[in-house]
Structure 1
Amino acid sequence: MSTTRAGGPAATKVPDTGLKRNIGFIGLMWASAGSIIGSGWLYGADKGIIQAGPAAIFSWIIGGAAILVLALVHAELGGLYPIAGGTARFPHLAFGGVAGASFGWFSWLQAVTVSPIEVSAMIGYLSSYVPFAKGWLDDKTGVLTAPGLVAAVVIMIVFVAINFLSVKALANTNSAATWWKIGVPVFAILVLALFSFHGSNFGGGDGFAPQGLKGVLAAMPNAGIIFALLGFEQADQLAGESANPRRDIPRAVIGSVVIGLVIYLALQIVFIAAIPTSKMSGSWAHIGAQFLTGPFALVATAAGLAWLAAILYIDAVISPGGTGLIYFTATSRVSYGLSKNGYFPRIFEAVTNRGVPWFGLIAAWFIGCLCFLPFPSWQSLVGLITSASVLMYAGAPLAFGAFRKRLPDVERPYKLPGGQVLAPIAFIVANLIIMWTGWTTDWQLGVAIILGYVVIVLNRVLRLNSTPIHLDWKAAQWLPVYLIGLGLIVLFSDWGPLKNPPITFGWDILVVAVFSLGIYYWAINVAVSREEIERITEETAVRMEEDELMSEPGPAH
């Protein structure tokens, strides 16, 4: 159902039926910014200095640049195809069913695990500050106790209840929470800079960069820096409910990353400078360990700013809570999109009369609660989420390249300058971050990927969704080589378990870059044809229109 206008063909529009298009630019940007400003700001600065010392400042800069490149790619895609669960569905349009199912699963896996990690962060701060929450968290291990698990489940129920009020109510709730979430860290930055700034701290400990370049790079995934910057794609996930997606989605995606990076970078600087000189003995790992349970609140207390610490403890509940809330929304929209593509059971498309995918919300709650059992702490989930997120993001540059090659003359509301260069760079960056996460996390991600394929296969075998799937194995021939090849590079690199790896530090970056470029150009050259992209889009649109007619109320009786 392509349409044309002056200046060339227009992008194929895929209207998602059943979802209400009533979110404006502020709601979209706050959805992304609210996801970025979560528990990461409460923990990232402290874990950054433990990993890299004051050189963690460069970890934030490099990490922010990497995420911004990925966000720019998403901005063009989000404007071109403003569809619900866009991140999960771009590879489907470009490479067909096999690639679409794979990257869709990566997207859902990432989204469904964020709410539990944010709830864990909330409970961690509550247990150390609120009397009735004492005992919810084991002080020595940081693991949720039985009462803590009950509290976590209840908080997750509250998130579901707010989402059921409708997406408009959610956007209003999240916008209010995001104003607070952004205001508190900015206020903390100003107060600490004015009342407790010790410039000499940057040369203290065991040096500015005790672990060198490797420490700077490792801090991005392992100190939670990349995790902290995740979330810009929420505007893409809500594209099916945007009032003006072609205008608002690119601005919302780019704006949220800029806001997040500026705040996080300033937080890292003032955190280092605010540490009292009496706490500056020993290595940076030792210095940071003194503030593990509540970094900024403890630094404020040590600096004699108890009133600021009280505000930060309150924010330690609101900020993760707001992020957890919006990720419930994202998870249900991703599962909605995956069902539309035929990968998940058809029941995930069920919506309430307010346009809320109710089964997707319940499934997100159930799986999220299960995550508390094998991963009962904030730290135990962060590495897995980072790798899954970046692997999900890696599908966007590939789809970007395929659309630029197959649909060169299609009108793009936002066209990324230098996209032919930035897209392969974005793909390289995503794969480097996965490598820097390390083998211990990446093999766990591999297991999760296999489980996802089992779920998708069972969905077809048991005929839980009759939507036709065009597998397009030829267009996805690069995918197994990519997944297995990247895993082998990590295994045999300096980030793997081998004592004397054949791919040493420094060379590993070159190997990943060359490998990534090979996969990138292989993928875009075997992507489905223009006619196939339009056919898949048309097929999806017709199916949605049929669903809309079937959902219209009949005559009153």
Structure 2
Amino acid sequence: MDTSVETTKSDSRRLQRSIGFYGLMFVSLGSIIGSGWLLGALKAAKVAGPASVLSWVLTAVIMATLALVHAELGAAYPVAGGTARFPRIAFGALAGFAGGWVAWLQAVALAPVEVEASLEYLDNISWVKDNLNLLHADDTLTVSGFGWATLLMAVFTFINLVGVKLLSESNSATVIWKTAVPVLTIGVLLSLRFHPGNFSAGGGFAPSGAHGVFAALPVGVVFALQGFEQAVQVGGEARDPQRDLSRAILVAMIIGTIVYLGLEIAFIGALDPSSIAHDWSNPIEKGAFGPYATLATLAGAAWLSYILYADAFVSPAGTGLLYLGTSARLAYALGRDKQMPKGLGKLSLRGVPVWSIVLSFVVGEISFLPFPSWQSLVSVITSATAIMYAFAPVSLIALRRRDPDRPRPYRTPAPQVLAPAGFVAANLIIYWSGFDITWKIVVTMVLGLIVLFVTRATESKSDRPKLSPRNALWIVPWLAGNVLIGYLGRYGESGNINLLPEWVDLGVVVVFNLVIFYWAVTQAMRTEEVHEAIEAERTELEVSEAVLEP
């Protein structure tokens, strides 16, 4: 068979560039403001008390640093599934697969989890509980619940199959609602029920000290603010990525940060002072629809509770819709680069990665099965986001050195400072997640390698991408070192031995990862190899480059 003809046919099908600035911004904002806002403030306050406000500020600084890095990469290399392809362009196929695999895992897991969250909230309504019987006593899905979950996943799949334009438009309408409800909640609680004394109650402003501020990050704060990179994942379908991607990411981050800070302040101020007089172990019962419904009722705004009941379904469902789409773009990127079955990298006549979308649907259906340990598995997978983020700062500096002449419509300010700072920050999140989480993430990455090599075994030698293991060698000591530091450190529910003193542990994380960062940058592929990798993405990039021409 004439492979040149096959390549021509494949390249003639392109992702449809139809998403504008607002669509991109809403994709990121819709991931940042998801179902996590309903419980994020409560979880953070239980760990850090009033100092949880600092946890949000610290997370915002960390995420803003990483967002600035992603903004430059996304605008300069606007390809679908960008978080998988930036390290691939800089360090080769093996590094690209490592970053893409963890990104795909967390994205493909979140869609069914959000669907289940929607059904769990619905099951708190008496009529639904009595007539639909969605959940067993252990919160696993009944046959009826499985049917409704499948229906939701099928709707998400249909929207994605129709095309990215419908996905963007459907998401935009949902995000306006998802943003308006927490903003309304902040306004109501600040105006009707605010106790300034709560910020010094229960042991003072920081009852658990700095440890509490840091420990609050992995229990929900980082999870809530992550998602800005979703605009990058659909970058291959942006109408004008050079102009819009960076702005969309940064605007979404600013809005999300303001909303979450306002929610934490309003939440703490609205609590009953007697419930936090001694400690913050149980500031309020979370209630069937989250603590804000209870606080709204206590504030004399019971009408707001009904809006929150509706949002308890809409927010998780809207986030599930997004993550099914972005997980499909990541699978498409890995398939197109022949690191997962190449059928995942094929497009329909409409420019849609059909098989990648179908894979996300199938994984979602498997996830609905009554695995008793599923929720603990999800907590591991979603924490893998920090590893995905860590690949971007290294890739940024490597590509600036190896591909210096590429047009960069947006340039990260002070990259020599922000890039290593972003890498260190991502690794601090990994450390704060705890040893019991970190080692499991590394195990899932090893399992991913099995997928990679099975895929390669089914391909002809001419179709197998060059792995470039030498350029990815830094990944092994990086991950192994962080697992060891986690074992010796002070965070986690089990396994760690608390050998490193407080603050010394953070210094060890910083120094170790700075060494890894500067070493990793030197391990990037040669300039000509980087240009070859960029040429392999020409189908998507050449459309973007045309925008820059006068």
Residues 282-309 of structure 1 deviation map (CA, whole Å, 9 limit, x = unaligned): 5211224454751211221233321101
Secondary structure at the counterpart of residue 35 of structure 1: helix
Secondary structure at the counterpart of residue 490 of structure 2: coil
Between 1:159-168 and 1:401-410, the stretch displaced more is: 401-410
> What residue number does 2:198 align with?
201
Structure 1 residue 256 corresponds to structure 2 residue 246: no
Of 231, 236, 241 in structure 2, the residue corresponding to residue 235 of structure 1 is: 231
Structure 1 residue 398 corresponds to structure 2 residue 394: yes
Of 245, 254, 279 in structure 1, the residue corresponding to residue 241 of structure 2 is: 245
> What residue number does 1:508 align with?
505
> What residue number does 1:225 align with?
221
Of 532, 536, 551 in structure 1, the residue corresponding to residue 533 of structure 2 is: 536
Q: How does 1:98-113 map to 2 (within 5 A)?
A: 98-113=94-109
Between 1:35-44 and 1:273-282, the stretch displaced more is: 273-282
Aligned 8 A contact 2:141 2:369 in 1: no
> What residue number does 2:173 align with?
176
Aligned 8 A contact 1:125 1:316 in 2: yes
Of 253, 268, 272 in structure 2, the residue corresponding to residue 272 of structure 1 is: 268
Q: Distance in 2 between matches of 1:263 and 1:380?
A: 28
Secondary structure at the counterpart of residue 354 of structure 1: coil
Residues 496-552 of structure 1 deviation map (CA, whole Å, 9 limit, x = unaligned): 54575332221111111111111111111120011111111113327999xxxxxxx
Change (3 A) 1:379 1:45: farther
Of 302, 306, 316 in structure 2, the residue corresponding to residue 320 of structure 1 is: 316
Deviation at 1:464, TM superposition (A): 8.4
> What residue number does 1:307 align with?
303
Aligned 8 A contact 1:138 1:144 in 2: yes
Aligned 8 A contact 2:424 2:513 in 1: yes
Deviation at 1:400, TM superposition (A): 0.6
Of 46, 52, 59 in structure 2, the residue corresponding to residue 56 of structure 1 is: 52
Secondary structure at the counterpart of residue 39 of structure 1: coil
Deviation at 1:119, TM superposition (A): 1.6
Aligned 8 A contact 1:16 1:83 in 2: no
- Amino acid corresponding to residue 191 of structure 2 in structure 1: L
- Amino acid corresponding to residue 157 of structure 2 in structure 1: V
> What residue number does 1:428 align with?
424
Secondary structure at the counterpart of residue 210 of structure 1: coil
Query: Which stretches in structure 2 are left out of the alignment for 5+ residues?
Result: 1-10, 543-550
Deviation at 1:151, TM superposition (A): 2.8
Of 8, 18, 21 in structure 2, the residue corresponding to residue 22 of structure 1 is: 18
Change (3 A) 1:379 1:206: farther
* TM-score after normalising by structure 1: 0.90
Structure 1 residue 362 corresponds to structure 2 residue 358: yes
Deviation at 1:125, TM superposition (A): 1.5
Change (3 A) 1:373 1:432: farther
> What residue number does 2:327 align with?
331
> What residue number does 1:47 align with?
43
- Amino acid corresponding to residue 157 of structure 1 in structure 2: A
> What residue number does 2:153 align with?
156
- Amino acid corresponding to residue 264 of structure 1 in structure 2: Y
Secondary structure at the counterpart of residue 164 of structure 1: helix
Q: How does 1:60-139 map to 2 (within 5 A)?
A: 60-129=56-125, 131-133=127-129, 135-137=133-135
Change (3 A) 1:63 1:87: same
Query: Which stretches in structure 1 are left out of the alignment for 5+ residues?
Result: 1-14, 546-557
Residues 247-306 of structure 1 deviation map (CA, whole Å, 9 limit, x = unaligned): 000001111111101000000110111123464455211224454751211221233321
Change (3 A) 1:544 1:217: closer
Q: Distance in 1 between matches of 2:162 and 2:136?
A: 35
Aligned 8 A contact 1:144 1:376 in 2: no
Aligned 8 A contact 1:117 1:378 in 2: no
Q: Distance in 2 between matches of 1:421 and 1:269?
A: 31
Between 1:93-102 and 1:156-165, the stretch displaced more is: 156-165
> What residue number does 1:212 align with?
209
Aligned residues: 529
Residues 415-466 of structure 1 deviation map (CA, whole Å, 9 limit, x = unaligned): 1110111000000000010010012222221221122111111111122896
Secondary structure at the counterpart of residue 177 of structure 2: helix
Change (3 A) 1:117 1:543: closer
Residues 185-226 of structure 1 deviation map (CA, whole Å, 9 limit, x = unaligned): 11111111111112222222343322211111011112x111
> What residue number does 1:442 align with?
438
Change (3 A) 1:525 1:532: same
Q: Distance in 1 between matches of 2:178 and 2:460?
A: 41
Aligned 8 A contact 1:119 1:321 in 2: yes
